[in-house]
A and B are shown apart, each in its own frame.
Chain A
Amino acid sequence: MRKFVKGNPDLCIGCRTCMIGCVVEHEGRRIFEIDPDGYDFNPRLHMVKTAKISVPVQCKHCENPACMAACPVNCIKVINDAVVIDTDSCIGCKSCVQACPFGAIDMVSKIGTQQADGSMRVVANKCDLCVGTGNGPACVRVCPTSALTLVDEEKLKEVVCDKRVATANAAKVFADAKEVE
């Protein structure tokens, strides 16, 4: 099963540190050196604030990704069990944006690449679980209120197992009461 990062709206205060952590992790030191006007700030998760909640929304790394199925050039791949976009072969068709039911993918201009007409290439952008950095998701690490959790197979199993045991315990009470009757 694939891992994914999940936000907890009860803990999130909407500070956007996760978004900054994401950009710094993916751009490295370069972000502090380049001209802010010539740069497209492109975090891979989006802070959503409604009247009731604030929580970042990011890729769920689905088992059968709708984005991967929709991509006409097969540039969305599974690498190290993370659903990752190969921005070098992305043609910016927005099929994946349309396919994702979570709004987890957006389009960003890719610095340093140009099209035939001289304009900057625009490619799909989404959470890659910080694959390849070796440190695990930056958003999880930087969140000051620990509102983000990396849900892996073990964590999911633990959550589900706890619920099943609680259900069994409740059923036991119910069955015992029935026997007394």
Chain B
Amino acid sequence: MKPFTTIIKRALPLLLAASWRALAVDATNVVPPVTARDFYNAGTRLLAGKKYDDAEKLFQSAVAAQDEPVQPAAVYNLGHARFAEGAELIKKGPDAQKVSARGHAASAAGEQAIRRSESALADNNLDRMIAAYLEGRGARRELRDAEKAVAAAMEIYGKTLQKWQRAADDFKSAAELNPADTNATQNAEIVERDLAQLVDSLRKMQAMLGAMGKQRADLGKLLGRLKGQIPGPNAPPGAPGEDGEEDDNGKNGKHPEDLVGQKENASLQGKEESPSALSPDQAGQILEGLSIDGGRRLSMSDQEGRPLQPGKGRNW
């Protein structure tokens, strides 16, 4: 009886493990890919399931296997996967319209603060200098936040740019490998058009970032001058000559609560878009090329998007 129990104890886990494995394979029908066609078919399944990152890796493996009949189609779908990945990045990233509008609003507020600071300094009016100083601090903070937002958006766009550049080259490669594949040529042209728009948008963002940086530096200098002009008892938070970034964080002995009753920049009161900040046309112009353009789709070849069934023409 004892040997029988021992056998049962040892064999049962093995039996269970084997049956679970068999069930898992049966349920998901997952067989590890080995050949270029396996990788290609697995990639198309993932592409159809919108798992672009994994699909890209599988198509890369299919291309790297150097199987001549499979390679053109695999390169073509690799282009699709990369293009879709780039589009996903933009979708998931910060809203470009909002970022751009915020940048313009911050820029306009900064411009206004500079003008008021210069005017207050010219008039040598203490009340106006204090008001201009506080407004300038708010504007500068807003500029810094807007800069961060634009930089984050630029990073996302930069990654998308890389993906799309590679996608365009993949489509060109597919066309070169199979000159009869006109879809590949067409797709390469479409991706290049989108790329041009993306580059244009990136340049605009870069210009905006540069302008905001310069504006912030100018504003910083003016704030320093204002602080120097305001007498001690009336001085706003922060000692003269310490008007760095830390000022905004209340590290100079004063807290934001000390400024209660004194008005800062309007944009800090929850009004993100001041009337003079940005016209809808301007915002639209900046963001013209940033939309993913859902209306225009890349044409799909008969091999793309879904694995072909065995026995129906080519089995990959």
A and B interact physically = no
